[in-house]
Amino acid sequence: MDEETFALLLETVRRFVDERLIPNEDRVEEEDAVPPEIIEEMKELGLFGLSVPQEYGGLGLTMSEEARVIYELGRTSFAYRSVIGTTVGIGSQGIVMDGTEAQKREWLPRLAAGMMASFALTEPGSGSDAASISTSAVREGDNYRINGNKRYITNAPRAGMLTVMARSEKDVPGARGITAFIVAADTPGVSFGKPDKKMGQKGAISSDVNFDDVIVPANNIIGGEPGRGFKTAMKVLNRGRIHLSALSSGMCHRLVQESVQYAAERKQFGQAIGAFQLVQGLIADSQTDAYAAWCMTRDLAKRYDAGEDVNRDVACTKYFASEALGRCADRAVQVHGGAGYMAEYKVERFYRDVRLMRIYEGTSQIQQTIIAKSLLREAGLNL
What angle, 0 to 180 degrees and rounded to 10, lies between the N-to-C axes of helices 63-73 and 78-88?
160
Q: How far is the CB of 229 from ligand FAD (least distance, A)?
A: 12
| Residue with smaller CB distance to ligand FAD, 230 or 294 | 230
Report the C-alpha dihedral over residues 84, 65, 293, 378, rounded to 10 degrees.
Answer: 100
319 binds ligand FAD (CB under 6 A): no
Q: Residue 57, Cβ neighbours under 10 Å: how many?
A: 17
291: phi then psi, degrees, rounded to nearest 5:
-65, -45
Question: Each residue of 170-180: b (16+ CB within 10 Å) or e?
Answer: eeeeebebbbb
Q: How far is the CB of 33 from ligand FAD (least distance, A)?
A: 16
Q: Cα 325 to chain center, whole Å?
A: 15
127 binds ligand FAD (CB under 6 A): yes
Among 71, 80, 152, 294, binds ligand FAD (CB under 6 A): 152
Among 5, 191, 268, 365, binds ligand FAD (CB under 6 A): 365
154 binds ligand FAD (CB under 6 A): yes
CA gap 357, 364 in Å, rounded? 9
| Residue with smaller CB distance to ligand FAD, 6 or 360 | 360
| Residue with smaller CB distance to ligand FAD, 119 or 345 | 119
Contact 201, 62 (CB under 8 A): no
Say how many residues touch ligand FAD, by CB under 6 A.
21
359 binds ligand FAD (CB under 6 A): yes
236 binds ligand FAD (CB under 6 A): no
- Among this protein's residues, is 361 annotated catalytic? yes
CA gap 161, 142 in Å, rounded? 20
The SS3 assignment for 378 reads: helix
Q: How far is the CB of 128 from ligand FAD (least distance, A)?
A: 3
132 binds ligand FAD (CB under 6 A): no
* Position with the least CB separation from ligand FAD: 127
256: phi then psi, degrees, rounded to nearest 5:
-65, -45
Among 63, 153, 256, 332, binds ligand FAD (CB under 6 A): 153
Of 28-36, 122-130, 134-142, 217-225, which segment contacts ligand FAD by CB under 6 A?
Answer: 122-130
Among 69, 70, 356, 370, binds ligand FAD (CB under 6 A): 356
Of 9-17, 218-226, 336-344, 359-367, which segment contacts ligand FAD by CB under 6 A?
Answer: 359-367
Between residue 67 and residue 96, which ones bind ligand FAD under the rule CB under 6 A?
86
Q: Cα 278 to chain center, whole Å?
A: 34
116 binds ligand FAD (CB under 6 A): no
By the 10 Å C-beta count (0-12 exposed, 13-18 middle, 19+ buried), 141 is classed as exposed
120 binds ligand FAD (CB under 6 A): yes
Between residue 193 and residue 232, which ones bind ligand FAD under the rule CB under 6 A?
198, 206
Between residue 251 and residue 290, which ones bind ligand FAD under the rule CB under 6 A?
none
| Residue with smaller CB distance to ligand FAD, 96 or 366 | 366
By the 10 Å C-beta count (0-12 exposed, 13-18 middle, 19+ buried), 230 is classed as buried
The SS3 assignment for 109 reads: helix
Q: Concatenated DSSP letters for 246-279?
A: HHHHHHHHHHHHHHHHHHHH-EETTEEGGGSHHH
Residues taking part in catalysis: 361
The footprint of ligand FAD (CB under 6 A) covers 86, 118-122, 127-128, 152-154, 198, 206, 356, 359-361, 363, 365-366, 369
